[in-house]
Amino acid sequence: MKFRAKITGKGCLELFIHVSGTVARLAKVCVLRVCPDSLCFGPAGSGGLREARLWCEVRQGAFQQFRMEGVSEDLNEIHLELTAEHLSRAARSAAGASSLKLQLTHKRRPCLTVAVELVSSLGRARSVVHDLPVRVLPRRVWRDCLPPSLRASDASICLPRWRTLRSIVERMANVGDHVLVEANLSGRMTLSIETEVVSIQSYFKNLGNPPKSAVGVPQNRDLESMVQVRVDNRKLLQFLEGQQIHPTTALCNIWDNTLLQLVLVQEDVSLQYFIPAL
């Protein structure tokens, strides 16, 4: 098993720092899946979709160098379990660095070595190395950390402005724990929260729907009808506050009364967060 990757360039380094930061905010222990053309972060353990879970994919384009050799020829992947905070801290030490190298090594125990080349303010080179302890996962548990494959969602809509969405959900979180998320295929989205004493509703319109959303939907489907799902507000807020990338695309998919999926894409990075219905 071999893995060696290098990131150079300010933009790519910052993106990697944000990605590892996001994963650390949303999962304590994560599984790093090294695939031939990408690096995927997933939750550890098999919880299915009973809990809110994050998957993140960093495609090869984000790396200047990417070489890997999996467990075997037909199973060309490596699954590593590590503490997300360790990777995030190590990545943060690369702020302003000239390069960051990831390598699977063995130093008394299997490690993911993060080597950062820094240039100090006086123009002199400095190097920092972190050895993060990892656990190589056996093949029998590989299936648990793959993202779920689901049928097409009932509604798919672009999210409103991130800051607005976050501040609304934040205020709603002060009122109650359950938020109802509704959306239709005409660019309308509603967030509602209701307690005995008060009910709050936020209406968004003209949001736009991703083009693929029309695929798989029967012709006579009413574009105006709202699809809904009730989720735990705190989980939603955790994602809205924890994620650190600046997505070019942000959308959500709703499976009626079943599941809410938030998808963010920035360059070669994609984040998916699933929140099951209550």
The interface region with another protein, picked from 33-41, 131-139, 147-155, 199-207 by CB under 8 A, is: 131-139
If the CB atoms of residues 24 and 62 are measured against another protein, the closer one turns out to be 24
If the CB atoms of residues 113 and 209 are measured against another protein, the closer one turns out to be 113
Q: How far is the CB of 104 from another protein (least distance, A)?
A: 15
If the CB atoms of residues 127 and 195 are measured against another protein, the closer one turns out to be 127
Report the alpha-carbon distance of residue 24 to residue 18 in Å, rounded. Answer: 10
Q: How far is the CB of 27 from another protein (least distance, A)?
A: 16
User: What residues form DSSP beta bridges with 102?
Assistant: 5, 114
Q: Which residues contact 73 (CB under 8 A, 6 or more apart)?
A: none
The interface region with another protein, picked from 52-60, 130-138, 171-179, 260-268 by CB under 8 A, is: 130-138
Q: Which residues contact 122 (CB under 8 A, 6 or more apart)?
A: none
Between 76 and 115, how does the x/- string for binding to another protein read (CB under 8 A)? -------x--x--xx--x-------------x-x-x----
Q: How far is the CB of 273 from another protein (least distance, A)?
A: 26
Report the alpha-carbon distance of residue 77 to residue 62 in Å, rounded. Answer: 18
249 binding another protein? (CB under 8 A): no
Report the alpha-carbon distance of residue 112 to residue 135 in Å, rounded. Answer: 10
3-class SS of residue 4: strand
If the CB atoms of residues 114 and 191 are measured against another protein, the closer one turns out to be 114
60 binding another protein? (CB under 8 A): no
Q: How many CA atoms lie within 13 A of 241 on its CB side?
A: 13
Tokens 């509604």 label which residue?
155
Other CB atoms within a 10 A radius of the CB of residue 261 amount to: 20
If the CB atoms of residues 108 and 163 are measured against another protein, the closer one turns out to be 108
Asked if residues 62 and 15 have their Cβ atoms less than 8 Å apart, the reply is yes
Report the alpha-carbon distance of residue 217 to residue 262 in Å, rounded. Answer: 20
Please give the size of the binding site for another protein, defined by CB under 8 A. 21
If the CB atoms of residues 58 and 111 are measured against another protein, the closer one turns out to be 111
Separation of first and last alpha carbons in the chain: 41
Asked if residues 20 and 102 have their Cβ atoms less than 8 Å apart, the reply is no
The interface region with another protein, picked from 121-129, 198-206, 241-249, 256-264 by CB under 8 A, is: 121-129
If the CB atoms of residues 126 and 205 are measured against another protein, the closer one turns out to be 126
Binding-site ranges for another protein (CB under 8 A): 83, 86, 89-90, 93, 107, 109, 111, 120-122, 124-133
